[in-house]
Each structure stands twice: as C-alpha cells, then as structure tokens.
Amino acid sequence: MWLTLGVAAVVLVIDQLTKAWAVSRLENQPPVQVIGDFLRLDLVRNPGAAFSLGTGYTFLFTGIAIAVIVVIIRTSRRLDSVWWAIALGGMLGGALGNLSDRLFRAPGGFQGYVVDFIELPHYPVFNCADMAIVGSAILMVILTLRGIDLNGSRPSG
C-alpha cells in the first residue's frame, strides 16, 4: 500500500506543479513549439473527459473519479505485487490530479475544468495526470496478459 501511495504522491506533485507552470506561462499566450510540429505546449481548460467528450457531465466525471480513487485505495491494501502497486499508484495519482482540478478550479466545486497543455499532432491536448493514467492502464494490461495477479503470483500451467 505504501508504494502505491508513494507513486500516487509523486504523480500528483508532478501533475500539479506542471499545471501551475502551464497556467502561469501559457495563459493568454500563443502555443509554444517545443519540437518542430511534433510537440507543442498550448493551454486548454477541458470541461469534459478524455478527448473533451461529455462536456456537460463534469459532475458525473467527478463522481466516477472519486469512486475509482476509493477502489484503488481499497485494492492497494491487499497488494503483494510491486508492479501492480506501481500501476495502481500511477492511476491513483492521475485520478487525484484531475480530480483536484475538478474540485478547485473554475467554474467551481465538482465542475472545474481540467488544465491540459501538452499537444501532439492528431491527438487531443493532455497533461501529466493523463499520461500517468494511460501509462498505468497499459501496465495493467501487460500484467494481466502475463497472468500476474495482484499478489504477484502467476497461475501454474
């Protein structure tokens, strides 16, 4: 459990620091080209979920994030796998990062906009919490495909 919470804390701190930096440096500014046309920084406030879907359901996404956080914390109490602890910690940290935007950013509690600022070609703008969530989901798929249980064991055969 402590590894899960530690990974979550690191992800949350990185996410909040980069969002604070993005708001202070990119707000009301033109996009910043970082690597040619491949990577640019462009501040966007997202009222919806991934890919700006469901912009009228911010309150619902907040509730889902809270439920995911509770399930991860409960699950982490019975983990014996380092890799599952890292995956769930990344997911928890990402969920907490975006949830904190929903709770504390305009336009108000439970309906705040998520700060996104990293842009790749032909892909929606995202943030560090989103990267942690996606990376954790990929790790979870790999662990599942390899047959690694939450306790770190593999079924025989």
Catalytic residues: 116, 130
* Extended strands (E) in the chain: 32-35, 39-46, 114-119
Torsion angle, alpha carbons of 126, 129, 135, 137, to 10: -100
3-state secondary structure of 101: helix
Rg of the chain, C-alpha, whole Å: 17
3-state secondary structure of 118: strand
- Helix, strand, coil abundance in the chain, percent, nearest 5: 55, 10, 30
Structure letter (DSSP) for residue 126: B
Question: Which residues lie below 8 Å from residue 118, measured CB to CB, with a gap of 6+?
Answer: 39, 41, 125, 126, 127, 128, 131
